[in-house]
Copies of this chain bind each other. A is one copy, B any other.
Amino acid sequence: MIAVLKSSATPQQVANLAEWFEKQGIRVNETKGEYCTVLGLIGDTTRVDMDLLQGLDIIESVTRISDPFKKANRKFHPEDTIVDIGGVKVGGGNFVVMAGPCSVESEEQIVETAKAVKAAGATLLRGGAFKPRTSPYDFQGLKEEGLKLLIKAREATGLPIVTEIMSEDQLPYFDDIDCLQVGARNMQNYELLKALGKIDKPILLKRGLSATMKELLMSAEYIMAEGNSNVILCERGIRTYETYTRNTFDLSAVPMLKELTHLPVVADPSHATGKASLIKPMSMAATVSGADGLEIEVHPCPSKALSDGAQSLTPEQFAGVMEAINKCRTVL
């Protein structure tokens, strides 16, 4: 960590500050310039509060040199973490495809879709029961009933389930669910993250709409700091000014995150692009970029879907995407 002091800082003030750091086990190296003094702070600065420092009168700026996440950091944990979702492994060379409808709508719909995606090669079933929607007047999901239908689909196919939780109060309903998804809007819902850190189920943490990779990793750190290391990160598009696509798919985040962390990283081209025609090329791109898996929306009849229809594939289209993904896997 580097602290730049204002030229107005007195030697006594600088000495006091240095002493305060040294009490925290942080070594201080001082460099005096014409217009400012620079303090190099050496040691474990993870717990130093940047805001507190920036608030000091004598400080001009503070810059972190090392990343503020520790448990998620590949520097301190070089090997890939492998997460087990109901027997299906993710990470460390294990590639998964989570497929299914945006929303669970009926037993027939979810069982039929589960069978179709399994036949095409998907290894996990995804589907929303609790649905975060921008408008209170839009369909909010079948809730507990939806979870029960997902379990029926698992019974019919053997595919473990990935589905979204929106509040720690819903945890009791998720006892028999294999992997809990935290949606983009809840990426910084810290009370939810802390509650998920206290269980040991796999958590699929989606990147917030305008979250930096560092913030995504800090949210993973919230879960891991409570004891749960079964965290999978998911790039699902960020918000920019571009309007042809629903979001901007920050695919570079996949290889970048793989450098920064040992956690598995998957990508969601359906939400990232919002366009059915882009899912195949972007699934292929995500695969060769090094993603540990993909989350793809599939609906038996996309034109009847109650939400996110524009970005869903038919089972036939999905089978074509799976074939392309499998070809791409041979390149690696």
CB distance from A131 to the nearest CB of B (A): 9
- Contacts A61-B65, A241-B240, A251-B285 given: A42-B33 contact, CB under 8 Å? yes
Is the Cβ of B252 less than 8 Å from the Cβ of A248?
A: yes
Q: Is A307 an interface residue (CB 8 A)?
A: yes
Determine the main DSSP class of A at the interface with B. Answer: mixed
| A187-231 vs B, Cβ < 8 Å mask (1 yes, 0 no) | 011111010000000000000011011110010011001100000
Is the Cβ of A137 less than 8 Å from the Cβ of B47?
A: yes
A242 touches which one: B218, B238, B282 (CB < 8 A)?
A: B238
A186 touches which one: B68, B132, B189, B260 (CB < 8 A)?
A: B189
Is the Cβ of A282 less than 8 Å from the Cβ of B309?
A: no
Once the chains are docked, how many angstroms separate the CA of A186 from the CA of B310? 27
- Contacts A38-B40, A52-B305, A249-B251 given: A133-B185 contact, CB under 8 Å? no
- Contacts A63-B2, A167-B191, A225-B136 given: A243-B212 contact, CB under 8 Å? yes
Q: Which of A51, A57, A209, A311 counts the most chain B CB atoms within 10 A?
A: A51
| A8-45 vs B, Cβ < 8 Å mask (1 yes, 0 no) | 00000000000000000001010111111010101100
Is the Cβ of A190 less than 8 Å from the Cβ of B132?
A: yes
Is the Cβ of A136 less than 8 Å from the Cβ of B306?
A: no
Q: Is A89 an interface residue (CB 8 A)?
A: no
Oligomer copy total:
4
Q: Is A288 an interface residue (CB 8 A)?
A: yes
CB distance from A217 to the nearest CB of B (A): 10
Q: Which B residues are CB-close (under 8 A) to A275? A: 256
Is the Cβ of B302 less than 8 Å from the Cβ of A278?
A: no
Q: Is A328 an interface residue (CB 8 A)?
A: yes
Is the Cβ of A307 less than 8 Å from the Cβ of B168?
A: no
Nearest CB in chain B to that of A290: its residue: B281
Is the Cβ of B278 less than 8 Å from the Cβ of A256?
A: yes
Once the chains are docked, how many angstroms separate the CA of A159 from the CA of B33? 47
Given contacts A189-B189, A251-B285, A285-B289, 12 further A-B contacts (CB under 8 A): A36-B65, A38-B42, A46-B137, A49-B139, A55-B309, A136-B190, A212-B243, A240-B240, A248-B250, A251-B282, A252-B278, A328-B328
User: Which A-B residue pairs are the 8 nearest by beta carbons?
Assistant: A55-B309, A210-B210, A31-B40, A29-B31, A285-B285, A167-B191, A185-B188, A54-B310
Q: Is A77 an interface residue (CB 8 A)?
A: no
Is the Cβ of A210 less than 8 Å from the Cβ of B212?
A: no
- Contacts A49-B307, A303-B56 given: A259-B238 contact, CB under 8 Å? no
Q: Is A308 an interface residue (CB 8 A)?
A: yes
Is the Cβ of B54 less than 8 Å from the Cβ of A225?
A: no
Q: Is A312 an interface residue (CB 8 A)?
A: yes
Q: Which B residues are CB-close (under 8 A) to A278? A: 252, 255-256
Is the Cβ of B288 less than 8 Å from the Cβ of A284?
A: yes
Once the chains are docked, how many angstroms separate the CA of A215 from the CA of B241? 12
CB distance from A49 to the nearest CB of B (A): 5
CB distance from A1 to the nearest CB of B (A): 9
Once the chains are docked, how many angstroms separate the CA of A303 from the CA of B186? 32
Q: Which B residues are CB-close (under 8 A) to A255? A: 277-278, 281-282
